A and B are shown apart, each in its own frame.
Chain A
Amino acid sequence: MDGHGDGQSRWCLSQVKGAVDDDVAEADIISAVEFNHSGELLATGDRGGRIVIFQQEQENKSLPQCRAEYNVYSTFQSHEPEFDYLKSLEIEEKINKIRWLPQKNAAHFLLSTNDKTIKLWKISERDKRPEGYNLKEEDGRYRHPSSLTTLRVPVFQPMDLMVEASPRRVYANAHTYHINSISVNSDNETYLSADDLRVNLWHLDYTDRSFNIVDIKPANMEELTEVITASEFHPLQCNTFVYGSSKGSVRLCDMRASALCDQHSKLFEEPEDPSTRSFFSEIISSISDVKFSHSGRYMMTRDYLTLKIWDLHMESHPVETYQVHGYLRSKLCSLYENDCIFDKFECCWRGDDSEVMTGSYNNFFRMFEREGQRDVTLEASWENGSPGCPLKSWRVSTGSRRKRNEIGVDCLDFSRKILYTSWHPQENIVALATVNNLYLFQEKLN
């Protein structure tokens, strides 16, 4: 059911990042949004191969109404455009996924990937520098040794904070097809990367080898019927991972069962409803994202029109199904023609797993409360609603009557879509990307 809402939601706009002009360069299109494990840092990636990291400021005790803001912490070029001369193919620098490693020391580590190469980045702070060298002046000029009469010990003096990002590992040449997912294992030593036909397992320390754990490439490519669309490690069991397919199924694999996990341990697939079968059935059933709950008990899948929550103990059908934008069923023809039917929407869980959210078109995003069975449609817009003001919920109607905060299906702007979303792991703050802007929303505290 599309949200009714009593008008006002619990959410308010907190911040908007990025340019507000209409002229959007390809490079500025955001392609990844990810909070780190503490929620202190928020990373975004774009089609230009750049990563921008925001940091939550220390809480301002005098203003308890506003949670701390996110400000730029570091920005760097993660991937560059490349050309594969052997195959005459361009390799886009677009960042497909960012995944943070749990923090082990003062530095922060993240994995970022484009279509072909994964990189491990170290983001560290420097707030001291050595001063008082014997052979060098402060400006770097060398002193003549004969001018020295005494010796001194250099000491560390405070300096303006500098945040440095350096590539620590480059994991290359392991994927023939385009990488769509990376996922860090709970063992904090390994991670997986998945492309259209294969899933590989890496050890974070070794870049010269990778183990193939799933291979669905048919002997004859003419027989290809299914590709891998998303993959993730279980948050607690280091031997378990899942991968979703373009046919709407999710396979759970156990790495203890065999070295090559082509045989799944569990197959999650909802039987098709024959009465709604059409040309579009398979395309709209394609899994665009799969995410485990924080508890590890459930798994959420996103396909073109719905969000499904699965209990890992039951493969036959999901325990909950939420309609994201069912009104699009009557627009599938034009969505196929403009390629929107292939849009890959992500989804995310709230920290306590009680709510889930995902994006839609017209810069709408949808939030679903699991217990109360309530859902809401909100708009990411810097025009309507000032920071701190609660957002009004929207309705999409198929009829001709228009109430306030209602919009007709035919008026939806399919070029404005929210594909990437991330929920703060502890607080009720969500980050999402419209085409070229990053939006932060937070829940009203009272």
Chain B
Amino acid sequence: MSSEVETSTEEQQEMQDTVVSPEKAEEIKLKARYPHLGARPGGSDLLRKRLQKGQQKYFDSGDYNMAKAKMKNKQLPAAAAEKTEITGDHIPTPQDLPQRKQSLEASKLAF
């Protein structure tokens, strides 16, 4: 009698384990692709990334001129490879910073 009850409980447990909500299944998929993903996604990392929307572009004219003076005799390393990362050791040049121009054209909705 008791062994029968145990078996059916086990079966039930197995069924529950295999019936996973679609969200959970998607989570398993994501964790498989990105094993280092943090345990708490909604936590501060994600939010702080949101708060900092808009890339920070560092251009310090003091640093720039100092670097220019130091490198007068050396050739400046080509910055082409790292156009998107303007931070840290790389001293940005004015050419590296993408130009923001104002929209002079009218909206296409107005035609």
* Chain A residues proximal to chain B, CB less than 8 Å: 17-19, 27-28, 30, 44, 46, 48-50, 52, 72, 75, 77, 80-81, 83, 87-93, 115, 177-178, 196-197, 221-227, 246-247, 275-283, 329-333, 336-337, 436, 438
* Chain B residues proximal to chain A, CB less than 8 Å: 21-27, 29-31, 33, 37, 41-44, 46-48, 50-51, 53-59, 100-103, 105-111
Q: Chain A residues with Cβ under 8 A from B47's Cβ?
A: 196, 224-227, 246
Q: Chain B residues with Cβ under 8 A from A336's Cβ?
A: 30
Q: Chain B residues with Cβ under 8 A from A48's Cβ?
A: 103, 105, 107
**Of all chain A residues, which has the CB nearest B29?**
A333
Q: Chain B residues with Cβ under 8 A from A246's Cβ?
A: 42, 47
**Of all chain A residues, which has the CB nearest B24?**
A278
- The answer to whether B107 and A50 touch across the interface, beta carbons within 8 angstroms, is yes
Q: How many angstroms between the C-alpha atoms of A226 and B48 in the bound complex? A: 10
- The answer to whether B26 and A331 touch across the interface, beta carbons within 8 angstroms, is yes
- The answer to whether B56 and A88 touch across the interface, beta carbons within 8 angstroms, is yes
The one of B22, B24, B29, B41 that contacts A283, using a Cβ cutoff of 8 Å: B41
The one of A196, A278, A337, A438 that contacts B27, using a Cβ cutoff of 8 Å: A278
Q: How many angstroms between the C-alpha atoms of A83 and B59 in the bound complex? A: 12
- The answer to whether B108 and A28 touch across the interface, beta carbons within 8 angstroms, is yes
Q: How many angstroms between the C-alpha atoms of A283 and B47 in the bound complex? A: 11
- The answer to whether A225 and B42 touch across the interface, beta carbons within 8 angstroms, is yes
- The answer to whether A196 and B23 touch across the interface, beta carbons within 8 angstroms, is no
- The answer to whether A17 and B109 touch across the interface, beta carbons within 8 angstroms, is yes
- The answer to whether B110 and A52 touch across the interface, beta carbons within 8 angstroms, is yes
- The answer to whether A332 and B23 touch across the interface, beta carbons within 8 angstroms, is yes
**Of all chain B residues, which has the CB nearest A197?**
B51
Q: Chain B residues with Cβ under 8 A from A275's Cβ?
A: 21
The one of B22, B55, B109 that contacts A90, using a Cβ cutoff of 8 Å: B55
Q: How many angstroms between the C-alpha atoms of A46 and B105 in the bound complex? A: 12
The one of A92, A93, A280 that contacts B26, using a Cβ cutoff of 8 Å: A280
Report which residue of A80, A87, A278, A330 has the largest number of chain B beta carbons within 10 angstroms of its beta carbon.
Answer: A278
- The answer to whether A247 and B110 touch across the interface, beta carbons within 8 angstroms, is no
Q: Chain A residues with Cβ under 8 A from B105's Cβ?
A: 27, 48
- Min Cβ gap A330→B in Å is 4
Cross-chain pairs A/B with CB under 8 angstroms, 9 sampled: A17-B109, A30-B109, A44-B109, A72-B110, A81-B100, A276-B23, A330-B26, A332-B27, A337-B33
- The answer to whether A279 and B54 touch across the interface, beta carbons within 8 angstroms, is no
The one of B24, B50, B56, B103 that contacts A87, using a Cβ cutoff of 8 Å: B56
- Min Cβ gap A34→B in Å is 14
Q: Chain A residues with Cβ under 8 A from B44's Cβ?
A: 221-225
Q: How many angstroms between the C-alpha atoms of A226 and B40 in the bound complex? A: 13
Q: How many angstroms between the C-alpha atoms of A227 and B101 in the bound complex? A: 31
- The answer to whether A27 and B30 touch across the interface, beta carbons within 8 angstroms, is no
- Min Cβ gap B62→A in Å is 13
The one of B22, B23, B50, B111 that contacts A281, using a Cβ cutoff of 8 Å: B23
The one of A52, A177, A331, A332 that contacts B51, using a Cβ cutoff of 8 Å: A177
List 19 other contacts, CB 8 Å, given A72-B109, A278-B23, A332-B27: A18-B108, A18-B109, A27-B105, A46-B109, A50-B103, A50-B107, A75-B109, A83-B100, A90-B54, A90-B55, A275-B21, A280-B26, A281-B23, A283-B46, A330-B25, A333-B27, A333-B33, A436-B108, A438-B109
- The answer to whether A247 and B42 touch across the interface, beta carbons within 8 angstroms, is yes
The one of B21, B27, B103 that contacts A27, using a Cβ cutoff of 8 Å: B103
**Of all chain A residues, which has the CB nearest B57?**
A88
The one of A17, A50, A177, A331 that contacts B106, using a Cβ cutoff of 8 Å: A50
Q: Chain A residues with Cβ under 8 A from B54's Cβ?
A: 89-92, 115
Q: Chain A residues with Cβ under 8 A from B37's Cβ?
A: 279
The one of B23, B53, B101 that contacts A329, using a Cβ cutoff of 8 Å: B23
- The answer to whether B110 and A75 touch across the interface, beta carbons within 8 angstroms, is yes
Q: Chain B residues with Cβ under 8 A from A19's Cβ?
A: 108, 111
Q: Chain B residues with Cβ under 8 A from A81's Cβ?
A: 100-102
Contacts known (A77-B103, A224-B48); A279 close to B41, Cβ less than 8 A: yes
Q: How many angstroms between the C-alpha atoms of A336 and B26 in the bound complex? A: 10
Q: Chain B residues with Cβ under 8 A from A247's Cβ?
A: 42
- Min Cβ gap A114→B in Å is 11
- Min Cβ gap A86→B in Å is 12
- The answer to whether A88 and B59 touch across the interface, beta carbons within 8 angstroms, is yes
Q: How many angstroms between the C-alpha atoms of A275 and B19 in the bound complex? A: 11
**Of all chain B residues, which has the CB nearest A438?**
B109
Q: How many angstroms between the C-alpha atoms of A332 and B33 in the bound complex? A: 13
- The answer to whether A280 and B27 touch across the interface, beta carbons within 8 angstroms, is yes
